[in-house]
C-alpha cells in the first residue's frame, strides 16, 4: 500500500487521559433550613475535583444536584460527555432517585464516594446543620440497595476529604478507568502471521472489540517494508544516537546489523504514527534472507523503544499479550514480554524471560544490546535486548481466553530476587513466589494463561481487581 503521510509519534498515555464525570449532591430540603450547609458542601466538591485532577484525569464536573429532576439532567450531560467513570459524591443525605438516573443513563461505570470534611465530628459543639455535612454515609446503603434492584454494579469509597487511604482507593478506580478507556478506544496492530503450531497464541479478532472494545488493525510486513525503505539517513542516524544513549553495546554487535535495526526502528515509528497504534504484535518467518526475514530480524530494537514509550510491541503474533502489556503500562508498572525459562529447585525460584523486545523501564541496569547469530526457534540474526528485571515485587499479568470465547485476566504476585542469569540476549528474572517452583508452575499453567504474559513491577492485584470490576472481565488470582 502507499504509505500515509508520516505523523509525529505520540504518547497514548498523555493523549488518552481518563475522562471522569463528577456529580455531587444533597437533599435540597436542607438548604433553606441550614443556610451554611450548601456552601460548605460545594467547597468539599471543589476539593474533590482538585484531588481527582492529581491523577492526571480530565474531570467533567456537572455541578451540584438537589433533587431527582436535577439528577436526571446531570445524567444527560454526563452521557453526552462520554465519560470513562462517573463519580457520585454523597456530600450529605440524598435520595436514590437523584443518582439512579445517573447510574442508568450515563453510559459508564459509577463510583460513589462518601468523604466527610474531617476524620471526626466535634460532638460537643455540633448542631444539626453541622452534622449533616458528615452524613454522606447515611444514603450509601440506600444507593447500594437501589443499584442492586435496578441492575447496576455498585462500588464505593468512604473516608474523609484528606484521607490518603481513601484517595489511594479512589485513584485505583481512576487508573482502572484509564485502562478501560484505552482498551475501549485503542487501536491494536497485528502484523504478519501466526507462529506455526502455537494454538494458544491464536486469537479470534472479533473477540477483542467484542470483549474489550477497541479496534484491531491487521497489517502486513509490507506496510513496514515501504516505511523502512523510505527512512532517511538523518532519521536513521538520530535513531542510532538514541540507541547508543539508551543501551550498552556488547562487543558481539555487528555495525551493519545495528544500522539495519535502527532503520527498521525508524520505519516502526512511522508505522505506529500512520496507523495511530496503541500496541503492536508481530511475527514473520521468512526464508533465505529475503526482505521480510530481514525485517523480522531487525524488529527488536525498535519494538523495545516503542514499548518503553508506552506503545507495547511483542513478537510471536501475541496479540493478547501485547494487550496485557498495555494494561500494565497504563498502570505505571512497565510490562515486558515473558515466558517460563526454567525452574531452580535449589534456590526455590522460577526463572522467566523472553528473547526480543523488553520494557526498558523495568530493567535493573542499563539494558544491553547483544549481537546474535541465531534466535532460538526462529530464523534471523541481528541485535537483541538483554537485561534483568529490577529486584522487588512483581506481578504477572496474562489475558486468557476460555473455550466459549470469554477473556479473563490472569495474575500472580511474586518477588524478583538476585541470582545467576543467562546471557543469551533475553530479558530475564528469577521470581520467588513463596512456594515450591514446581507446584507454582503447575498452578499457573492450569489457569489457562497461555505460554506468554506480561511481567510488571510492583503489586498490581488491587488495580487489577478494580479493572475487572469496571470491565466485567473475570480476574483469576493464581496462588498455590
Task: Find how far residue 179's CA is from the centre of its chain.
Answer: 5
> Per residue of the chain (480 residues), what is the pLDDT tens digit?
444 433 333 444 445 689 999 999 999 999 999 999 999 999 999 999 999 999 999 999 999 999 999 999 999 999 999 999 999 999 999 999 999 999 999 889 999 999 999 999 999 999 999 999 999 999 999 999 999 999 999 999 999 999 999 999 999 999 999 999 999 999 999 999 998 889 898 888 999 999 999 999 999 999 999 999 999 999 999 999 999 999 999 998 999 999 999 999 999 999 999 999 999 999 998 888 889 999 998 999 999 999 999 999 999 999 999 999 999 999 999 999 999 999 999 999 999 988 778 898 888 889 989 887 654 454 456 788 888 889 999 999 999 998 888 999 999 999 999 998 877 767 889 999 999 999 999 999 999 999 999 999 999 999 999 999 999 999 999 998
Q: Cβ(187)–Cβ(215) under 8 Å?
A: yes
Question: Going edge to edge, which strands form the sheet with 156-160?
Answer: 58-65, 19-25, 85-90, 110-116, 156-160
CA distances from 263 to 4, 257, 380, 386 (A): 18, 10, 16, 20
pLDDT at 456: 95
pLDDT at 14: 44
Closest CA to 300 of 361, 353, 364, 257: 257
pLDDT at 4: 42
pLDDT at 361: 87
pLDDT at 297: 87
- Give the separation between CA 179 and CA 2, rounded to whole angstroms: 33
pLDDT at 314: 93
- Give the separation between CA 115 and CA 41, rounded to whole angstroms: 11
- Give the separation between CA 246 and CA 97, rounded to whole angstroms: 57
- The model carries a pTM of 0.91
Q: Cβ(89)–Cβ(23) under 8 Å?
A: yes
pLDDT at 255: 93
Amino acid at each position: 500500500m502507499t504509505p500515509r503521510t508520516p505523523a509525529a509519534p505520540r504518547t497514548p498515555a498523555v493523549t488518552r487521559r481518563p475522562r471522569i464525570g463528577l456529580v455531587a449532591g444533597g437533599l435540597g430540603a436542607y438548604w433553606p433550613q441550614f443556610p451554611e450547609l450548601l456552601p460548605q458542601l460545594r467547597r468539599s466538591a471543589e476539593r474533590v475535583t482538585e484531588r481527582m485532577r492529581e491523577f492526571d484525569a480530565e474531570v467533567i464536573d456537572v455541578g451540584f444536584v438537589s433533587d431527582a429532576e436535577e439528577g436526571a439532567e446531570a445524567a444527560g450531560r454526563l452521557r453526552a460527555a462520554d465519560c470513562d467513570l462517573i463519580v457520585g459524591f454523597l456530600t450529605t443525605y440524598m435520595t436514590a432517585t437523584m443518582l439512579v438516573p445517573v447510574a442508568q443513563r450515563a453510559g459508564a461505570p459509577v463510583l460513589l464516594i462518601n468523604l466527610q470534611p474531617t476524620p471526626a465530628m466535634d460532638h460537643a459543639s455540633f448542631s444539626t446543620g453541622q452534622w449533616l455535612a458528615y452524613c454522606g454515609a447515611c444514603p450509601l446503603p440506600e444507593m447500594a440497595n437501589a443499584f442492586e434492584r435496578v441492575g447496576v454494579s455498585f462500588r464505593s469509597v468512604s473516608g474523609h476529604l484528606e484521607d490518603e487511604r481513601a484517595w489511594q482507593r479512589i485513584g485505583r478506580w481512576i487508573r482502572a478507568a484509564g485502562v478501560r478507556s484505552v482498551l475501549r478506544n485503542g487501536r491494536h496492530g497485528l502484523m504478519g502471521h501466526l507462529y506455526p503450531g502455537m494454538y494458544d497464541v491464536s486469537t479470534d479478532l472479533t473477540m477483542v472489540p467484542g470483549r474489550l472494545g477497541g479496534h484491531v488493525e491487521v497489517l502486513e510486513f509490507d506496510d513496514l517494508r515501504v516505511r523502512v525503505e523510505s527512512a532517511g539517513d538523518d532519521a536513521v542516524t538520530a535513531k542510532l544516537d538514541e540507541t547508543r544513549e539508551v543501551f550498552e553495546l556488547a562487543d558481539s554487535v555487528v555495525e551493519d546489523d545495528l544500522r539495519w535495526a535502527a532503520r527498521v526502528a525508524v520505519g516502526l515509528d512511522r508505522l505506529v504514527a500512520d496507523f495511530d497504534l496503541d500496541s503492536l504484535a508481530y511475527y514473520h518467518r521468512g526464508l533465505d534472507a529475503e526482505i521480510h526475514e530481514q525485517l523480522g530480524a531487525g524488529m527488536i530494537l525498535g519494538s523495545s523503544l516503542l514499548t518503553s514509550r508506552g506503545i507495547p510491541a511483542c513478537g510471536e503474533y501475541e496479540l493478547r499479550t501485547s494487550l496485557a502489556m498495555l494494561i500494565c503500562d497504563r498502570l505505571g508498572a512497565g510490562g515486558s514480554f515473558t515466558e517460563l525459562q526454567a525452574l531452580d529447585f535449589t534456590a526455590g525460584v522460577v526463572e522467566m524471560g523472553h528473547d526480543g523486545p523488553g520494557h526498558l523501564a523495568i530493567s535493573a541496569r542499563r539494558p544491553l544490546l547483544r549481537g546474535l547469530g541465531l534466535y532460538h526457534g526462529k530464523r534471523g540474526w541481528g541485535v537483541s535486548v538483554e537485561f534483568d528485571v529490577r529486584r522487588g515485587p512483581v506481578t504477572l499479568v496474562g489475558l486468557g481466553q476460555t473455550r466459549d470465547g470469554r477473556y479473563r485476566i490472569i495474575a500472580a504476585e511474586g518477588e524478583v530476587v538476585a541470582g545467576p542469569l543467562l546471557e543469551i540476549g533475553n530479558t530475564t528474572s528469577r521470581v520467588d513466589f513463596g512456594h515450591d517452583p514446581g507446584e507454582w508452575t503447575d498452578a499457573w499453567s492450569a489457569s489457562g494463561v497461555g505460554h506468554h504474559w506480561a511481567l510488571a513491577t510492583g503489586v498490581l492485584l488491587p488495580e487489577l481487581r478494580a479493572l475487572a470490576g469496571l470491565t466485567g472481565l473475570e480476574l483469576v488470582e493464581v496462588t498455590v
